[in-house]
Amino acid sequence: MNKLLTEYAAILARVPKRLVDISDEDAEQKPRSGGWSKKELLGHLIDSVSNNHQRFVRGQLVRRLEFPEYQQNEWVAAQDYATASWPDLVNLWLLFNRHLLHVLRHLPESAQSNEITVGGKAPVTLVKLAEDYLSHMNHHLAQILGE
């Protein structure tokens, strides 16, 4: 878990500087192939941190817990991230992730093997959920930053 927390902190130290360099106009552009704009991708990552915050806080209180499936397209559309302020989205993403990192740093060792089930899929431990969250975030940040 320590390696994961170190990697997470490093991402939060280096990525925001790159995100703020993206213009609002560039962040609004949809890719030629369709899909989400950078604003919508970052909004999706805000939804991800929001959902995962609930999972990590509630998941440490009981041994097993179930959550509904995350309806990503509906969430992005319902919040109309495409018209949101890019600087506001960057700040919200950063601050919510800083808080989630704080939560994970204080996750009791006794709770790390607690299991979460999302949308009827196979249960995963809180540690595995944290690994999956970081991988998911890295994937979408690479899309936003053109890597």
pLDDT of residue 2: 94
The backbone region for 14, taken as left when phi is positive above 0, alpha when psi lies in -120 to 50, beta otherwise, is alpha
Structure tokens at 79: 């919040």
Q: Is 110 exposed, middle or buried (0-12, 13-18, 19+ CB in 10 A)?
A: exposed
133 pLDDT higher than 90: yes
Determine contact, residues 42/90, Cβ cutoff 8 Å: yes
Q: Which domains does the chain possess? A: 2-53+72-110+130-145 (1.20.120.450)
Q: Look up the pTM and report it.
A: 0.95
Q: How many CB atoms lie within 10 A of CB 115?
A: 17
Kindly tell me if the per-residue pLDDT of 147 is higher than 90: no
